């Protein structure tokens, strides 16, 4: 029996950017709940409380990651040069955007419209800049510094490309708070441009992910939940077209305002159909992985935010089509989202209390003797 333990290090030394996924997954529970068709959206006080929790998590992680960069620059640089960890740097941008967007939806009644607009403006601006930076920097590093092969393609590669789509979906909420005329129209069309940036980039990357899945077999057990990340650009793009269309009347001239509403339906319906297909495929892979012994890892947070984007996408289609089937779909997916959040939060809390998730890698002698390897996120692979 092996009794050795990983070396004791600073609690934040191995705190990677993937931890921001917990902020995204928590924030979307509140914002997606508010987006549900009435009366299914329930008490707003609960959604406001969830948003406050996401804000506190964001502040705590920003502070911890700042300490990480100051005290452990070598590890921070190693994360950037690690092709498995580098894409997660986009999670910072999406965490900022999701908490900022939640301020105007779930948190506005709690902190007031003026404070919500101010907070969202800061987080949206910072998150959009960071997201665009990640969308350029991470693929650049993959091409220039990382050494990856087609067989290593992973849904994680989509993360930097999804960040601009989150900006596209969150930006329209700020449009009514800008001066009428060009400021409002500029922001709305900028959101549409961000939609295009992300969509076209995802269309380039997604075939690599699907081809790797078909030709190289299932993902490693700990990475299997990342298949749900594919739902992110699908649900978020459907959400973006819906909220852009909602904000268009009086902002863009006719007939473009009506055209955006038509586009929201013509685009959203087939994309949500594909999202449901992928949800079934990803679920089948997860069931298989659980049967083969898949345990908890931080990748379980992939079950939350992507599903939440599908909730808001389905809710948007319910508004634009008036079909009860999309209302039922939004509610059903929200139930899945809440269950996934509880599972991910429970596993994360247990891992923190035990020290498992912040432990360093196992010594080489232990790895060779046990046949297992421990990642910097605490997952066993």
- When pLDDT is cut at 50, 70 and 90, the band that residue 189 belongs to is very high
- When pLDDT is cut at 50, 70 and 90, the band that residue 166 belongs to is very high
**Domain 17-370: which topology?**
Glycosyltransferase (1.50.10)
Residue 147 vs residues 81, 140, 217: alpha-carbon distances, Å: 10, 12, 21
CA 11 to CA 345: how far, in whole Å?
A: 19
* Structure confidence at residue 378 (pLDDT): 41
Higher-pLDDT residue of 122 and 364 is 122
Q: Are 245 and 264 in contact (CB under 8 A)?
A: yes
Q: Per mean pLDDT, which range of 17-31, 49-63, 148-162, 270-284 is the poorest?
A: 148-162
* Structure confidence at residue 362 (pLDDT): 40
Residue 256 makes CB contacts below 8 A (sequence gap 6+) with: 248
Q: Has residue 247 got a pLDDT over 80?
A: yes
Of the chain, the percentage scoring pLDDT greater than 70 comes to 91
Give the pair of three-digit tokens for residue 330: 């939004």
Residue 191: name the closest of 114, 88, 260, 270 by CA: 260
Of the chain, the percentage scoring pLDDT greater than 90 comes to 78
Give the pair of three-digit tokens for residue 107: 């948190």
Rank 43-47, 214-218, 236-240 by mean pLDDT and report only the highest: 236-240
Residue 363 makes CB contacts below 8 A (sequence gap 6+) with: 4, 6, 7
Q: What share of the chain is helix, strand, coil (3-state, %, to 5)?
A: 80, 0, 20
* Structure confidence at residue 8 (pLDDT): 53
The whole model's pTM is what?
0.91
CA 288 to CA 92: how far, in whole Å?
A: 31
Q: Has residue 327 got a pLDDT over 80?
A: yes
Chain-wide mean pLDDT for the chain? 90
Residue 369 vs residues 1, 8, 363, 378: alpha-carbon distances, Å: 10, 20, 10, 18
């Amino acid at each position: 029996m092996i009794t050795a333990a990983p070396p004791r290090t600073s609690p934040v030394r191995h705190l990677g950017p993937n931890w921001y996924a917990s902020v995204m997954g928590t924030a979307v529970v509140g914002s997606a709940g508010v987006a549900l068709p009435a009366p299914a959206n329930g008490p707003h006080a609960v959604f406001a409380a969830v948003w406050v929790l996401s804000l506190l998590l964001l502040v705590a992680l920003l502070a911890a990651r700042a300490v990480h960069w100051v005290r452990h620059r070598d590890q921070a640089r190693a994360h950037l040069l690690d092709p498995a960890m580098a894409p997660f740097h986009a999670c910072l941008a999406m965490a900022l955007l999701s908490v900022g967007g939640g301020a105007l939806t779930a948190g506005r009644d709690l902190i007031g419209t003026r404070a919500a607009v101010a907070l969202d403006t800061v987080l949206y601006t910072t998150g959009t800049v960071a997201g665009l930076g990640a969308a350029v920097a991470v693929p650049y590093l993959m091409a220039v510094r990382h050494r990856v092969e087609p067989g290593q393609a992973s849904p994680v590669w989509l993360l930097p490309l999804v960040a601009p789509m989150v900006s596209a979906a969150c930006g329209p909420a700020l449009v009514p708070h800008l001066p009428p005329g060009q400021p409002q129209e500029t922001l709305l069309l900028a959101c549409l441009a961000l939609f295009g940036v992300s969509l076209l980039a995802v269309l380039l990357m997604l075939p690599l992910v699907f081809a790797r899945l078909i030709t190289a077999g299932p993902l490693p057990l700990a990475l299997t939940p990342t298949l749900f990340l594919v739902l992110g650009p699908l649900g978020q793009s459907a959400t973006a077209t819906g909220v852009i269309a909602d904000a268009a009347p009086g902002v863009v001239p006719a007939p473009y305002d009506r055209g955006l509403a038509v586009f929201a339906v013509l685009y959203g319906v087939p994309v949500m159909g594909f999202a449901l297909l992928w949800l079934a495929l990803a679920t089948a892979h997860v069931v298989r992985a659980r049967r083969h012994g898949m345990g908890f890892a931080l990748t379980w947070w992939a079950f939350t935010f992507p599903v939440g984007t599908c909730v808001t996408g389905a809710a948007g289609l319910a508004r634009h089509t008036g079909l009860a089937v999309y209302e039922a779909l939004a509610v059903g997916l929200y139930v899945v989202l809440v269950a996934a959040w509880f599972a991910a939060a429970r596993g994360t809390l247990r891992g923190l209390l035990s020290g498992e998730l912040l432990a360093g890698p196992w010594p080489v002698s232990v790895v060779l003797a046990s046949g297992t390897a421990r990642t910097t996120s605490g997952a066993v692979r």
